[in-house]
Amino acid sequence: MVRNARIWTADPALPWAGAMVVRDGRIAAVGREDEVEVLAADGSDTLDCEGRLVVPGFIDSHNHLRLGSGDSAVQLAGATTLADIRDRIAVWLDVNLDATWVHGEGFDYAAIPGGRHPRADDLLGATRGLPAMLLDYSVHAAWFNREALALLGADASAPQVAYGTFEVDERGDLTGYLADFATRGLSRAGLAALLPIVPAFGAEAQYHRVRSALRMASRLGITTVVEPQNSLDDLALFTRAEADGDLLSRVVAALFHPVGTTKSEVDEFEQAIARVRTDRFRLGPIKLYIDDIVEPHTAAMLEPYANLPGSRGQSYYSQEEFNDVVAGLDARGLQCLVHATGDRGNRMALNAFEHARQVNGPRDSRHQIVHVECLDRSEVGRFAELGVVPCMQPRHCAPEIVREWRANVGEARWRYAWPMRSLMASGARVAFSSDWNVAEMDPMVGLYTAVTRASLDGSESWVPEESVDIESALHAYTTAGAWANFVEADLGALTVGRLADFAVLSRDVLACEPAELLDTRVVTTVVEGDVVFAE
């Protein structure tokens, strides 16, 4: 019996309730306390919410659980200069005296002088002779020092390797910067190449990150996570977590389809999707990339970058190639999840989904485009027309994060940057997510940014006309996330018959000031009627 509560059900037929009865993991009754308490069995456990707000469990529709974050790596987020990066490495080495590698995460391109990519020589003397691999904030690129390049056997004459593409300077030397890490390094072949050499990609290190991330999710009221990029080899991490009792949130794992994936590999995907399904873990969409990201000028743009004339970025496929790939997956009844950040990348993804519908006929496909950072105005209505879900990360458009993004794209294209309100107004079902560990996992940070488009200190708001109201933002984290992942019959709202996944919050987020969202806590998290976190 859940009592003494202010329950936001996310159900328009009964938006508010004061109590719920949970039986066998599902909601048996919801309504006024005096109405539903008679339906509770004698001796039922009682959760007294002390008048607090209860919401459906948050669905984080794009969260890199496997990439993790923590003290096992040098945390570089917020480092604004090269000297700051070197200082953080020194502090980390003073604590991690037995380290054999320096693994870092979260560096920002703005910290590198002159608007260039980082170089191996920038780390000379900083790592005390240890090899180093530092990931950028987006995990789309890596930065190696000389020692790491030697251990990896990197060769300027063969810059494309299983885990990415090394940058070669005008003299024909490796710079130490590696592009395409997200598309190649996180593939099955890429991880297989790195695993014997870089400790951070070992099985135990990955499992530690998954377990820590799942515990963090439960503390934040997240009851379902979509892990967006996995090979078949990675699935053992989640089955192990479930066996160990560490799968505190539900996990939907997307399977990665890198460029060059064969028909037989897609056959394997289909077999795995049919085979792997438990109460807490299942396989879901197929992850593809059409472009990269804006910051290193590698997102596919319709017009050249404002500060790099002549460059429109890159796409991983031609339109015809991508049409064929997506239509083939759609014909099998598979759901596609496409990474697209640039306006040309988003157009190409929408074109491919439209082509698939024309070739295969319309169906309830619920294909998704993840990120939707830069969109041409003409594309806004196509999401609803095609039934495509924009899976967006509100925190990514915060002013303190997008300084380089804004400079690269140019002010003429800012109006439809992360156009959350326009997409919702057009009828698209926008699903929110964190993209952790690229940004904070906390849904409160996402809600705050969605309703303010502001920096965490509130000093600046960027493109506020694309902010959304708090109830719309909550729906994007609950009902829309459930619909996007074909689980709306069981999750996303607190109604009779649905699974009892919910969170009790320390503050009424529907009535508080936006700034108060940032110190709102989750008091209790419940998954299928079981308390998985209590403050």
Could you give the number of structural domains in the chain? 2
Is 215 among the domain residues? yes
Residue 71 has pLDDT above 80, yes or no: no
Q: How far apart are the C-alpha atoms of 257 and 230, rounded to whole Å?
A: 9
Same domain, 219 and 152: no
Contact status, residue 447 vs residue 188, Cβ threshold 8 Å: no
Q: Structure pTM?
A: 0.94
Residue 521's pLDDT band (boundaries 50, 70, 90)?
very high
Do 238 and 160 fall into the same domain? no
484 within domain boundaries: yes
> Is residue 134 situated within a structural domain?
yes
Q: Are residues 163 and 297 in the same domain?
A: no
| Residue 366: pLDDT over 90 | yes
Is 55 among the domain residues? no
Q: For residue 367, give the nearest of 380, 379, 356, 375 by alpha carbon.
A: 356
Which pLDDT value is given to residue 70?
A: 67
pLDDT at 39 over 70: yes
Same domain for 243 and 348, yes or no, is yes
In a shared domain, residues 147 and 265: no
Please report, for the domain that includes residue 106, its CATH number. 3.10.310.70
Q: Are 377 and 416 in contact (CB under 8 A)?
A: yes
d(CA 345, CA 300): 5
Statement to judge: residues 351 and 426 lie in one domain: yes
Share of the chain above pLDDT 90, in %: 91
109: containing domain: 74-138+142-179
Q: Is residue 442 part of a domain?
A: yes
Instruction: For 157-184, write each residue's pLDDT tens digit.
Output: 999 999 999 999 999 999 999 999 999 9
- Condensed to tens digits (0 to 9), the pLDDT of residues 128-155 reads 999 999 999 889 999 999 999 999 999 9
| pLDDT range class, residue 92, cuts 50, 70, 90 | very high
H or E element at residue 495: none
How many Å apart are CA 152 and CA 526, to the nearest integer?
45
Q: Is 3 within a domain?
A: no
Q: Please report whether residue 192 resides in a domain.
A: no
Same domain, 499 and 381: yes
Range in 293-297, 321-325, 383-387, 475-479 the model is least confident about: 293-297
pLDDT of residue 43 exceeding 90, the answer is no
On whether both 110 and 208 belong to a single domain, the answer is: no
